[in-house]
Amino acid sequence: MSTPKLSPRRETFLSFQPPAVGEEEIEAVAETIRSGWLTTGPRTAELEERFAEYVGAGHAVALSSGTAALHLSLLALGVGPGDEVVTTPITWPATANVIVHAGATPVFVDVRDDDLNIDPERAREAVTERTKAIMPVDLAGQPADLDPLLELGVPVIEDAAHAAESVYRGRKVGSIAAATCFSLYATKNVSAGEGGIVTTDSDDVADAIRDRRLMRRGHGSLYDLGVPGYKANLSDVLASIALVQLAKVDRHREIRERHVALYDAALADLDGITPLARDPRDLHALHLYVVRVDAERAGATRDEYQRALADENIGTSIHFLPVHRLSWYRERYPDVSLPVAERAGDEVLSLPLSPAHADADVEDAIAALRRVHERFA
């Protein structure tokens, strides 16, 4: 089917998820540079203290990326060659890649159809004597169903890259799992451009991660080496941005909440366009607004909708293509079949959502989607 060509309503392209930064972040960076601290220093320590307080965890360890947070959490919990880690295929590849980097084997299990988070029953079936950890993902900001995963008796390393504000059954994400890994990437709800944070209540896990984030222990010219670590520390320059963003996190969520309400109301009558479920028992971080495009009911495929929206000057993205169908994993795990994830991978489309957007931007995206739907349906 050819994609309808529509005259763009907008004169300028609406970016999918621009960062919401301003003069406060610029001044924070300038102050940090003037202080003489460019690498890990007092701003990083302050971020760790404030983030631990925000999520209610005993420790927060700041790192160079969310990927580093996942990787060092695996190592801190002793995951290595011969071990298996149960995880979801609906995620950015980093979630699976770090398992490979640790020398372990990722075991992909299917997801629930409503929110596309890992299915706890499928996870239970996959646990063996070789399972060293379970790594769920809080997709789009909806917490994974943690309680049945914790009941399996295997350490849970939670990929909370989308879930800075999330609350699961009255408990703040970041205070529940053995280790919870957040991202400070440019598009995240608390952004530094790059960076990550691990939160944990375990002194041993926190110390193991701290030992591995730098290639030495101690300060100045007198140092020691406890383990052969990595270069995974966060600079004060980036920490200064994250501190400002953390102070804005609730204000930014209020903006996204308003935009999500606009989407919910406007898309309710679009046949074949269905948002992912949000559990009313939890606080959703509203990091992404993901819909599924049912080609039969919506009149066209997800890819055709994405191209048509681009013609309307509306940016979108895909969260996510199933990891086990990407070339490297498909070649090594050719027999893995996860029908719910595979169907979702053909249908998911993320609409523009950022506190940097004005209400009018979201209204433009809605109007464009409705026009495209009218043409296709």
φ, ψ for residue 132 (rounded to 5)? -105, -20
Give start-end residues of each CATH 3.40.640.10 domain in the chain. 23-247
pLDDT at residue number 226? 83
DSSP E strands, the chain: 59-63, 84-87, 105-108, 131-135, 157-159, 167-168, 171-172, 179-183, 196-200, 217-219, 222-224, 273-275, 289-293, 348-351
Does residue 7 register a pLDDT over 70? no
CB distance 288 to 162 below 8 Å:
yes
Helix (H) / strand (E) containing 311: helix 302-311
CB distance 135 to 141 below 8 Å:
no
Does residue 188 have an active-site annotation?
yes
Does residue 218 register a pLDDT over 80? no
pLDDT at residue number 217? 66
- Share of residues in the chain with pLDDT > 90 (%): 93
φ, ψ for residue 158 (rounded to 5)? -90, 125
pLDDT at residue number 214? 87
Whole-model pTM: value is 0.96
CB distance 158 to 173 below 8 Å:
yes
Express each pLDDT in 58-103 by its tens digit: 999 999 999 999 999 999 999 999 999 999 999 999 999 999 999 9
Instruction: Kindly report the CATH class assigned to 23-247.
Output: alpha beta
Mean pLDDT of 114-122: 98
Mean pLDDT of 48-60: 98
Mean pLDDT of 189-200: 98
Catalytic residue among 172, 188, 231, 248: 188
pLDDT at residue number 190? 98
Give start-end residues of each CATH 3.90.1150.10 domain in the chain. 249-376
pLDDT at residue number 215? 72
Express each pLDDT in 309-323 by its tens digit: 999 999 999 999 999
pLDDT at residue number 1? 47
Express each pLDDT in 270-317 by its tens digit: 999 999 999 999 999 999 999 999 999 999 999 999 999 999 999 999
> Mean pLDDT across the chain, nearest whole number?
96
pLDDT at residue number 265? 98
Instruction: Kindly report the CATH class assigned to 249-376.
Output: alpha beta
Cβ atoms within 10 Å of 1's Cβ, excluding its own: 9
